[in-house]
Structure 1
Amino acid sequence: MMISRRATLRLAALGTAAALVSRPSFATAPSFATTRVRIGVLKFGTVSWALDTMKQHKFDAANAIDLEIIDFAGEDATNVAMLAGAIDMIVSDWLWVSRQRSEGVDLTLVPYSTAVGAIMAKEGAPIRTITDLKGKKIGVAGGPLDKSWLLIQALARRDHGLDLPAISDIVFGAPPLISEKAMQGELDAVLNFWHFCARLEANGFRRLIGADDAAKALGASGAVSALGYVFHDKWANENPDAVRGFIKASAQAKDLLARSDDEWLRLAPIIRAQGQELAKLRDRYREGIPRRPVAEDAADAGRLYRVLAEIGGDKLVGRAPEMAPGTFWQELPK
């Protein structure tokens, strides 16, 4: 969502301060100098899993940062707080960062996750390919400008000559509602965020096509980060050790999540899943850990940006036909 500077300042003045709720730290105060890093996250979002792991095992303190996790009720509130300078970091996507940069805001990001949503159908449903979606009732989370939905539309148009919004009954809704309606059989297929898809997989649904499949078919050479840790260039330039420390601590937390099943059992109450559902969330999360050099990720994002700009238009990207330089942060040589 695009937020004007005037709206940003007004919203920040009215509500941002009230929205911030800092979580208690697991770690005792370290005995050496640290830099505080304030990160805003959705209270029940998947980002909290990695951050909780980071705090629980004191990876932040080991890398000379004191991570302060601040909960927000919604994505718009985190964006407002970021733009207003109330926090140092959030998680968002490169489309939003690029649009901000194209309008003069010095935001940049470091890849966080390549996990993306997929179109899901019940195991027994007679839906096997994109062409089978013709005339079907499809639930879509994230709204008409969700980039996963746009990528799948672009692929359907290019390879099958199908205009999915024109030939199907599209229903937009919040992710939990979309999943609930799918489980109740009120929708023939759904496109939801990755973690909702993982829960559906554990409950009798299968993947028809993922946004990652569409991205590769449309020119990406590998798994592209959907989300990244977002911060201001100015802040990074003033706190280079804090940025490096955070990136290293994040990598250590993800490495633990990649190899330790016990860590997922510890997180189960936070994730609110168990058994097959927890296992499916664990496996899909692990698949989404970025593995490529940032330069490769940025190059593929640039290719997909052009596809998305063509189908999403000014409402999605503004007047910038290309992804803004510097959208992906790459540390300058020392």
Structure 2
Amino acid sequence: MNAMVEVPADRLRQQIAAVLAPYAEAGAARGIAAEDADRAALWLVQAEQLGLGGFGLDMLLRDLTRLDSGGGLEPGLEEPAERSAAGVEPGAAVTSFDAAGVPGPLALAAAARISAGGASTHGIGLVGISGVGALGVLGLAARALAEEGNFALVSAQAPAMVAPWGGREPAIGTNPLAFGAPRDAAPPLVADFATSQLTLAELRLRRETGEALPAGTALDAAGAPTTDPAAAAALLPEGRLGSLAGLLVEVLAGAAVGGRTPRGDAAAGRGAVVLALDPMRAGGGRIAETVAEIASDWRAAGGHVPGRFDALSTPEAPPAISVERGRYSALVNLGAASAASSPTQHEEEA
């Protein structure tokens, strides 16, 4: 069993933010701000608090490895001119940026902030992201936008791992989708779901532990059902509607904002869309009251009202986070390397 260490949530947030800070500084030309590093760190810690560790520190470390950033010293944002020019258009209702070389959670935090600004100015803010890695828990971004009074929609396209309904080979990614809306006398209503029956984080965890997959969730390379995580070559969608929802995300985040890599090209990342809509401008001035009614009607009819994120609205101080010791040591080492390479740090020492 892996050794675990208890880390105060605030300290873990600060340590993650310190690792992300150099990437935020290097990505300033694309519209990424220093505050985005802290917000991304908060969401990663909240993922741990919600028991979604596969989308927390573990995911961040994998994404930093994907970037091959030299142990966190060099964010690796030196790119050809056509890429470096791909930054956001300030104040635009619809804009986009290329997130190659940017950690996924940091790109998501920047997109949420930029889309909120568009909604405040124009009534709608839509940000397309291309070339990005694993983003984290999309529902946390949707929740943050809803807390500001917006209706939020967040989706992400991913490399092919899911077979279409009735198919036997992977054609699209797990393609998660999340939405959030303000609600009277309650936390925002937030739903966050993969369009496949399993997430890649769950598949990865079961491959590490050797735990069998649930029946009817995966196919092997020959297209036959399998419960062996090591043999899984394709995941199955969450029914026909889940398959179509995955197709929707593929077209939206893959085609409409340029996230999908052309056939034959090496995939350097994935695409994502963050949308914030000001209900007052769209005729929904009573959205919080109406959403509360919708949730009440849904529950009265026997439906499950998503409440995974409600725990984050309680006033109690966040508990310590239990983190695998090896992963925590890797984070601490990255933070030390980032601090040692910081020009500000060197000036202070001089």
TM-score, normalising length from structure 2?
0.26
TM-score, normalising length from structure 1?
0.27
Q: Which has the higher contact order (CA 8 A, sep 6+)?
A: 1
